[in-house]
Every structure is written in C-alpha cells, then in structure tokens.
Amino acid sequence: MTLDFPLFVKENITDIHMTAGKPALIRSEGLLMPGGWIPSGEDLAFFLQPFLSKEKQTCLIRTGSCDTAFSSGSVRCRLHIYRSGNALSAAVRILPGKTFPEEDPDYPWIQKTARLSSGLVLITGPCGSGKTTSLARIIEEINSSRSCHIITLEDPVEYLFSDRKSLIHQREIGIDVPDFASGVRASLREDPDVLVIGELRDASSIEAALTAAETGHLVLATMHTQRAAETAERIIQALPKEREGSAGNLLSSILRFSVSQRLINIGKKRLLLREILTNNTAVSRLIREKKYEQIPAYMEMNGKNMKTFAVSAEEAVRTFNLSAREQEELKRKAELPAGL
C-alpha cells in the first residue's frame, strides 16, 4: 500500500481514515467519501511501523491511541493511531503548507502579534479550525522579522521550522518533556523570548502559561473554546477556587489577544473566520470583575482593534464574492444571526 501525499494535496484531500479490512475514507472540501482502496492488516501495519517508536507503542498499549507526525516529501502530516474493537485504525491529517502570511485575512493582526515582547495570546476554536496553522504563521513572522529564542511545546510536533533570524527549538510531549506544564517550567530555564504551548489542557498547564507570561515572556497558546470572550472565563474556571481572584487579576493584566476562529467550507471555497478580542482598559476591567457576559456587547459597540465573527463573515462575502445562496449557507454553518 503506497500513499501519494503530494497527489492528495493537489486533489484538496485533507484527511485519510484507514481501518484494517475496511474501505479507506478520504475527506475533501469538508465531505467524507470513499478512498478507493481497502487496507489489509498487513498493509496498515507496514504503513504505521516507521512511526511507532517504543514510546508510541507503549502509549498505544496503555491508552489505546497515540499521536505523531511525519513528512512525505514536502508534505507534512499529523497521524493519530488508535484501536477500534480488535482492529488498528489510523487518521491522517494533511497539514497546509507554510503559506505566505499575506494570504491570511488578518495579516495585520499576525504582524502585531509577532511584534509583542511579552504577554499572553490565546488562539481558540474547535478541532480542525486552523489553530496550529495560525500559530505557525505567527512563528514564521517572528522568525523572519526579529532575533529571539522561540521554544515550542507540541503534541506532536507538526510544522517544522528552520532558523532564520530566530533560534527555534521544537519539543515534543512524551519524548522531550513529559507534559506541557513540565515543559513550560523547564523552558523558563532555557532563556526563551517566546513560548508556544500547543494546548492548554488542564489547570497545571494554564498555571504554567500564566507564570511564563507574568515573568516577561511572550506566550502563544491554543484552547478548545468556541468564542473569544468565553476563553477568559474558561481559564479562571479551570483553576482552583482559591486562585480565582488572583488569577483573574493576573489574566486581566497579561492577556494581549483572545482569538477564536472557524474554518467554513462553502462549496469549493474554504473560509477562515476570526473573532479577535483585544485587551484594553475596559476589557481588563470586565475580566477582573468577572463580567464575561458583557464582553461580546463591548466588542460590537467598540470596534477599534476588535473583530466579531459577523464582521469576519462580511469580509469573506466580499473577498470571495459569495452568492446569496452561499451567504445563507455561511450564516447557517457559522451560526451567525440573520442578516450579515
């Protein structure tokens, strides 16, 4: 079984699902469809064998799944291996190439973020919303524009970076460090300017990220929240009750941006929508006073340096010249209020 990943990229295939003895499925333009082959147990084992290090095999046996990443020519892929019943299965996500930053609809925000010297920047959204790609674009912008030490903590390492103006160390959870929180604590002893945390999963990693930002580093991290305004509340709620007050005060002072994003497929068009919350005096006060529910209204009424999903959708309508039918589809898929 030979998989031609460069060909998959040309055919706009983003995901491949394989289970021994079952027809393979591919996802293209958001739709799941037959791939046209049936991998045998031997085929799948042969394909997966190079990626199953001793550590990954141990993880697979212990937890029933493991994550890794690999390159096929110029194509970078994320691989999730898991057991389903008695069969071995694999889900491959083909990662977008490191495109030029100007292709991002919010390139000015990318530039502004890359110029930050300290603070916390949170990029949130559901799985498959492009959070990792947004992080990669910011890292590349920093790497091409200024000299600093960037340390990434990833599970697994996805995009691979080459040093340009910056020195970049990419560390993988489970191989280079045991977990995100331990990785952050160790990284603080390695003279970093920028810390990139693949995911804030629990109270320990959140505490570590807050500490890193408080001590003068730029921290970029992702979370699985749906809206920019709810992210601050989710962070505080994840911490012990006795930490809520002090953590709220700290977050209100170190937060720079809370950004939520979604990738929406409209026909053959793939639209990136972003909601950008910029921390300022008013937002900081609302976070400190736990008035999170007032943040969305403030974003709508005070548009300077803010962006709502509705505004992002309006920009997409103009950029992609969406028809009336496509606009209705966009509103439905993005869960926007009536009337763009």
Query: Looking at the predicted structure, is the pLDDT value of residue 92 above 60?
Result: yes
Please check whether residue 55 is in contact with residue 174, taking contact to mean a CB–CB distance below 8 angstroms.
Answer: yes
Spell out the CATH class of 101-333.
alpha beta
pLDDT tens digits, residue range 25-55?
999 988 899 999 999 999 999 999 999 988 8
- 294 vs 270: which has the higher pLDDT: 294
Q: What is the mean pLDDT of the chain?
A: 93
pLDDT in tens, 229-253: 899 999 999 999 898 889 999 999 9
Written as one letter, the residue type at 260 is: S
Domain covering 5-94, topology? Beta-Lactamase (3.30.450)
Give me 23's structure tokens. 């027809």
Sign for the CA dihedral angle at 168, 174, 177, 180 comes to positive
Residue that wins the pLDDT comparison between 170 and 268:
170
Q: Which two tokens stand for residue 196?
A: 């990139």
Confidence of residue 64 (pLDDT cuts 50, 70, 90): very high
pLDDT category of residue 101 using cuts at 50, 70 and 90: very low
Instruction: Name the amino acid, one letter, at 249.
Output: N
The 3-class SS string of the chain reads CCCCHHHHHHCCEEEEEEECCCCCEEEECCEEEECCCCCCHHHHHHHHHHHCCHHHHHHHHHHCEEEEEEEECCEEEEEEEEEECCEEEEEEEECCCCCCHHHCCCHHHHHHHHCCCCEEEEEECCCCCCHHHHHHHHHHHHHHHCCCEEEEEECCCCCCCCCCCCEEEEEEECCCECCHHHHHHHHCCCCCCEEEECCCCCHHHHHHHHHHHHCCCEEEEEECCCCHHHHHHHHHHHCCHHHHHHHHHHHHHHEEEEEEEEEEEECCEEEEEEEEEECCHHHHHHHHCCCHHHHHHHHHHCCCCCECHHHHHHHHHHHHCCCHHHHHHHHHHCCCCCCC
Inform me whether the pLDDT recorded for 339 exceeds 80. no
Averaged pLDDT for residues 94-116: 83
301-336 per-position pLDDT tens digit: 987 889 999 999 999 999 999 999 999 999 898 887
Q: pTM of the full predicted structure?
A: 0.89
Q: How confident is the model at residue 100 (pLDDT cuts 50, 70, 90)?
A: very low
